[in-house]
Amino acid sequence: MSTVLRDVKITLDMIKIEHTVFALPFAFLGAVLAARGLPNLRQLFWITVAMVGARSAAMAFNRLVDEPYDAANPRTANRALPAGLVSRQFVVAFTVVSAVLFLLAAAMLNRLALWLSPVALGSVLLYSYTKRLTALSHIVLGWCLAMAPSGAWVAVRGTLDGTAVLLSLCVLLWTAGFDILYACQDYDFDRRHPDLHSIPKSLGVARALGVARALHAAMFGALVLLVVVAGLGWLALVGVLATGGLLIYQHRLVSPTDLSRLDAAFFTTNAFVSVILFLTLGADVALLSR
């Protein structure tokens, strides 16, 4: 039993379970907007289970697929699988259990959520192969995270509409932008491997940073439109403006000649973006519903 618990702990650390905070607030925001207030506790519980299950399956599967590259990349060679800290068999089992947990959560929500769950699960698993096929893998990752708010909307309403799609577009643009930033640190490694593709490899680091800035500018515009379409008020607008400030700060931390502060740009600011938007837009919905 102690060995199993050790392997679970190592695997959770390997997949950075704490980074679920990037997407979970957007799922909760989708649920709050759909309910025009607080969803019931049962919905919130199964939405949380679905998010944790889907992300855990996706990240564990990604580590399995990328193990040969992780072993060859000095930045990732100390990850649990290439370092031999956990077996492939255990990670495969962890992936299957996580996927089943996600499907169970979808079934417990409503019929449409269950019908759409294979699309979501297939997307997050197949993403791991896209870097071998196209430089647009960053957009695919954005699509994977963008399903969180729309999925939560479906969980609450059993339908999908334009507001949910617009919120998902915001998440897609935000995710693709920060993933391009993150990929810049592997520019040299990717150049040495012709079977790997990315925006930084295709365009160079300087132009890739420009693409990331453009995507985040588009995300800001989409957020403003979301406030209008959803009929939100001043508190939501404050959250959007704060997000814009954080995005500007994020891009000021990195330059084509200095990526040393990339971790701060990626992890710290991104966690704040999702939490700030959830708190401000969610609170705005609560005020409007009173």
Residue 32's pLDDT is what? 95
Read off φ and ψ for residue 254, nearest 5 degrees.
Answer: -125, 155
Q: Contact, 184 vs 200, CB < 8 A?
A: yes
Q: Contact, 128 vs 65, CB < 8 A?
A: yes
What is the per-residue burial (b if ≥16 Cβ within 10 Å, else e) of 236-272?
A: bbebbebbbebbeebbebbeeeebeebeebbbebbeb
Domain 23-288 annotated CATH 3.60.15.10: no
Average pLDDT, the chain: 90
- Higher pLDDT residue, 13 or 130? 130
Cβ neighbours of residue 240 under 8 Å, at least 6 residues apart? Answer: 220, 223, 224, 227, 277, 280
Residue 261's pLDDT is what? 74
- Higher pLDDT residue, 259 or 154? 154
- C-alpha radius of gyration, the chain, whole number: 19
Residue 290 has pLDDT above 70, yes or no: no
Cα distances (angstroms) measured from residue 4 to each of 7, 64, 109, 176: 5, 18, 30, 35
Cα distances (angstroms) measured from residue 219 to each of 169, 178, 222, 240, 243: 8, 11, 5, 10, 10
Domain boundaries along the sequence of the chain: 23-288
